[in-house]
Structure 1
């Protein structure tokens, strides 16, 4: 990491519990009136635990390490102090927020724009998968806040004329543990070298790993630690279950659960992009409104999927772990771990999609004969034995025929899709992505191929 400055180990924010009872409003935390109104309009009636701990300290100008899980309101915990400071000393290129994924970047930008709309805050999202040129133009306008993934930001720092962060006042690293797990260490290092040492830094992370501690020593000055999650904890209002099933019946049990709990919104986690796509096709063939979200989809498709789900136009979102952290999807009632997570910590993040902000929710984990050890690790990590989700096996078995037929269709569609991708690549360069409609094949065959023959 960048050369450490004279850093002490973080002091704990020891705030008396009584204060939490009394401090009910953002105004009490020291947030300025304009921003308090913006919070009201967003429906933020009272600050969350992490906000109560972090905001007053941030307003005093301290560096902060926030240990908080997703859904705890940490975006507000760093956005409000930054906007508060921006109002006092308006300046372009004022703050930089680094995030591990594109989706999270867009989400943070939405919150900045919503909170800062009345004061004319401009933000730019600088992430991969989107045209560099338009981003360079956005940077040339010198926005107040940049929200970026490390790789693409470095790209612009090196190649976009006239763009630098020498005047930066605030640096935020959100989900720092994930930024480092995704091997962005060298990029973060480079960024730390080209921004002023005289700045405020907020580091937020769900877990305190060795890498995060190393980053903290390199990037923060005498930070205060605000921890609101105990070591590995799942929310109290979350009902967690498991189902032990032979792996060949996973699809059938999934359909049974979706029928049993119909009327809820679901987030179903699969381990691979391919399985996400296959399961989405399978469920669509059975008449469920399911949409996939995974790393092989183009950026616009991912955001499209996410927005349909957010707008409740679809009730089932299938996702890989790429999508599992940091996404603020407000209304997931049930999380299904269709494929058990290989890292027990991912379980915490997956089930963190439901029972957010005080609402209750269910999480159901499928455990096959191959997953027993992984499941035991999860139980050990969260420190509780999970109960079995009650199922009527005879009713499940009645579904096998319909499911088998849908599986066959899904396989055919995937195969057709694979061939179509090959053809369209040969034909038009690879501009395809994985949620294209089946039947594009005909367009390819009827369109560009014929033109070529006619030349």
Structure 2
């Protein structure tokens, strides 16, 4: 069945059949109206049916599978009730926090197990506490009643696909399986045929597009001016919360240093950071401790980051779906937002393909000032040179004896919300060089 968002006289959560304590928590959290995908998935979920949900980020997916599980837990208390698989650590922790919130009225016990972050002994201790919900990015469990694969298309397209196959071999055959994916790829379709029993299939919408409340712009400049153009945009939006998307972890790391040299308060988010650094960066951005997040596509899907005013695509995504996921970080839940694509002479063809896929022409951003970019360019280029020299020094230290100094230089993220590299020292060196 295919759903559209303009449903009339939608039922309430109570009419969907959820138990009293779960409904009380929903009321306390001010969840007043179920989304279309929740309306279609929750009743069969309560009945114990397998579910395939094709739904984009922002459609209420986590609550869609969490609420039937919590309903079942209240009616049949037990430990190790559900295992949720997620493609990234950030998404795993986000899902766990939502389970904790939605299950607060019934005393749900949730743990997160992430490969590479905890040793086996620590994991055993966590499991010995008999949790109800285990959210994981790389751990297999037996004796579970519910198995959830969130962002299944990403799970199967990553290295985690092998682990998914292994987990499916070891989980009980008698279980309820929820499979949620933004798109129904060939791998997802094959997985549903092999591992789900007569599932209910719900598709949130046939349209794969941006929301109407999003204003989509572009600016055009030569490649040598792109960094100055980015700085100009950030200057003009000083009071906004902004995500800057780049293609690679190296660019993300370099921009985090360069922008700090130029006086911007920003944090990076990319795959080379430790878990504590990544969560620290997200928490600071979510709490508005800093207003600029420089990120790879690690932040493009799944993460619920409220109140993002602007998304800037510094690197043009080659796939329209990646673009939609990126700009979907803003203009959420009916709010308005802006996205700006910085295109150089080498991005024109990609941008035209993107517009064709979107069936929408991007507008030229009216706040772009080419003259200001020319004025800023010398300063930005100098900051870029300082950053490059600093990273070269870090690379040399990495090959030899660097110790803590090497770590400070190489890690441009934050550990538990504190600066983990000598940004002040780099900035001071930059200012001193400019004075001389």
Report if TM-score (shorter chain) is over 0.5: yes
Alignment partner of 1:237 is 2:213: yes
| Structure 1 residue matching 2:135: 3-state secondary structure | strand
1:437 aligned residue (413, 421, 426): 421
Match of 1:199 in 2: 175
Question: What pairs up with 1:15-164 in 2 under 5 angstroms?
Answer: 20-23=7-10, 25-132=12-119, 133-149=121-137, 152-154=138-140, 164=141
Match of 1:159 in 2: none
Distance 1:81 1:291 in 2: 37
Distance 1:199 1:419 in 2: 53
2:341 aligned residue (365, 386, 390): 365
Match of 2:429 in 1: none
Distance 1:143 1:90 in 2: 11
Asked if structure 2 preserves the Cα contact closer than 8 Å seen for 1:344 and 1:374, the reply is no
Alpha-carbon RMSD: 2.4
**By how many angstroms is 1:175 displaced?**
0.2
1:376 aligned residue (352, 355, 363): 352
Match of 1:252 in 2: 228
| Structure 2 residue matching 1:242: 3-state secondary structure | strand
Match of 1:185 in 2: 161
**By how many angstroms is 1:429 displaced?**
11
Q: How many residues align?
A: 417
Query: Which region of structure 1 is more displaced relative to structure 2, 387-396 or 244-253?
Result: 387-396
Query: Which region of structure 1 is more displaced relative to structure 2, 239-248 or 205-214?
Result: 239-248
Asked if structure 1 preserves the Cα contact closer than 8 Å seen for 2:309 and 2:331, the reply is yes
**By how many angstroms is 1:168 displaced?**
1.3
Cα deviation, 1:195-239, whole Å, max 9, x if unaligned, reads 122211111101111111001111211112211133421112111
Return 5+ residue gaps in structure 1 as ranges: 1-11, 155-163, 442-455
Question: What pairs up with 1:213-362 in 2 under 5 angstroms?
Answer: 213-362=189-338
**By how many angstroms is 1:128 displaced?**
2.2
Query: Which region of structure 1 is more displaced relative to structure 2, 297-306 or 114-123?
Result: 114-123
**By how many angstroms is 1:14 displaced?**
7.0
| Structure 2 residue matching 1:22: 3-state secondary structure | coil
Distance 1:287 1:440 in 2: 10
Distance 1:372 1:135 in 2: 50
Distance 1:201 1:310 in 2: 32
Match of 1:157 in 2: none
**By how many angstroms is 1:49 displaced?**
2.3
Return 5+ residue gaps in structure 2 as ranges: 414-419, 426-436
